[in-house]
Amino acid sequence: MRTKFLYKYLKIHKRYSSQIAKKWQSVVGLEVHAQLNTESKLFSGAQNTFGGLVNNCVSLFDAAIPGTLPVLNRKCVELGVLAALAFSCRVNEVSSFDRKHYFYADLPAGYQITQQRAPLANDGVINFQVYTPGVHKKPYNKSSMIKQIQLEQDSGKSLHDIELKQSLVDLNRAGAPLIEIVFEPDLEDGEEAAALVKELVLIVQRLGVCSGRMEEGALRVDANVSIRREGDPLSTRTEIKNIGSIRGVASAVRYEIDRQQSVLEDGGSIINETRMWDAAAKVTVPMRDKEVVQDYRYMPEPNLPPLRVNLTTREETQDIMSVPLISDRIPELPAESRTKLIEKHDLRPEIAIQLVNEPTLFDFFNNLMNKNRNPIKVANLLLNDLLTVLNKRKIDVNNCTINMQQLDELTDLLLEKKINLDICRSVLEEIIGNRKSPLAVVNEKGWSLVTDNEEITEQCRRVIEDNPKLVKQFRDGKVKVLRALLGVLSKTSDNKLDMSLASKKMEELLRK
């Protein structure tokens, strides 16, 4: 009896130990709401805008006045189809609208019109590259499958006044057109989730489908996060709602993975709930229990007929649009731009990623390369020098005030060795926020690079005479002290010498 008990205990212990030995795997899936770039809303003629006066862009339908009916905005359908095609989705010939019921103060009708059961498109994919300097040594390729893309209307916005202890409702956003992009749970961590969102933002901006301005709420991310032991089935997930920045996506997912792992390792269990990302405290906090599909009581929208599109020909009617015609409007997408940078200019993948990920820098690079310039040096000027100055001033690259003419002139000064990198950064500091000519700044400050052989030789001799100990060490075989001598030379000359010429001259004089 005792032997049988011991055998059973050892068997259970072995199974438990092997379970503990398995590594945790995190599973992440995203749902992204992108507000469409249209003049009017999805089902009404009210203006679709950001930042207007409170309740100034609201039609009777948006306010759910009885007797008003929805009228589908054709432009919204075009943009939805365009996005679906760019994501390699299967556009459905027939899709339909549903009512999704829930009761919030900022949803006047008590339901949202969406496309849950027969969406606009299914089965797409986004291929993207994951690269975060300081986290990844090299970029790697990743894909995320799209389950479906659906058209739906946005809700309003609740405004909470803590001092007055009251909540008000702004319906300007009610009825704004959205596409919801539902991804499969095939991501592993926050960095992959952030990289996917960044790629998505770049694509919708290229398409003109959405502004992508997350700070304005034009693109909002919900993240579904769960963890499991290696090889186990998917476990209970939590949903993080309305994450408002790309770095917020990475931080929120990372925090939630760590939180769930800590709960499970302490013997607790994960609750199926909706959480909110507190960007200030950098934590997720509970909002409510997670709803299931039944809670929404979906039903067909009785006031909208099925949406039909033409999948095969270029013929259009007032009621049916041609998908092949929309397909012709797809521009060069970010992945293609990266490939071109690598193949045409022989840039490293990580440099191509950084340039394409910042549309302003990408435009600068393409304009600067209209002349026959060294692409690596141009890329370094933008990614190292320009970004360093902008970050120092806490200026977002999209708000860079340096114009193309100034940047073109500065690039010539640097590549023609009329200034060095340190002076280049100083010139950038001087021309931010004004229309000063870089050449005029260099002349005014006396920053022109000294290339005169006689002057360089004279300054090298002076440094040699003033540093006999370092000179003796060099001549005794410690060639590394050449760097120290060049450092002294740079300092005494106010960094105005062409150091490539000065280095050769210094070594020449030391070896005499």
DSSP states of 14-51 = HHHHHHHHSPEEEEEEEEEEEE---SB-SSS-SB--SS
Quick one: pLDDT at residue 92?
A: 97
For 453-511, CATH gives: 1.10.10
342 vs 501, more confident: 342
Tokens coding 371: 């002349």
> Does the structure show a pLDDT above 70 at 14?
no
Whether the pLDDT of residue 358 is over 90: the answer is yes
> Measuring CA to CA, which residue among 288, 253, 185, 221 is closest to residue 261?
253
The span from the CA of 126 to the CA of 124, in Å, is: 7
For the stretch 178-236, pLDDT in tens is: 999 999 999 999 999 999 999 999 999 999 999 999 989 899 999 999 998 888 888 88
Residue 22: the pLDDT is: 64
**Residue 255 banded pLDDT, cuts 50, 70, 90:** very high
Tokens coding 142 = 């990743």
pLDDT band at 504 (very low <50, low <70, confident <90, very high): confident
- Residue 12 clears pLDDT 50, i.e. is over it: no
pLDDT digits (tens, 9 = 90+) for 144-178: 999 999 999 999 988 888 888 888 999 999 999 99
pLDDT above 80: residue 134: no
Return the biggest CA–CA distance within the chain.
Answer: 100
Average pLDDT, the chain: 88
* pLDDT at residue 240 tops 70: yes
pLDDT of 20 reads: 47
Domain with CATH 1.10.10 in the chain: 453-511
Nearest to 320 by CA among 332, 312, 328, 331: 312
User: What amino acid occupies position 79?
Assistant: L
d(CA 112, CA 128): 32
Residue 292: predicted pLDDT = 53
List helix spans (H) across 218-272: 246-265
Helix (H, G, I), strand (E, B) or coil at 390: helix
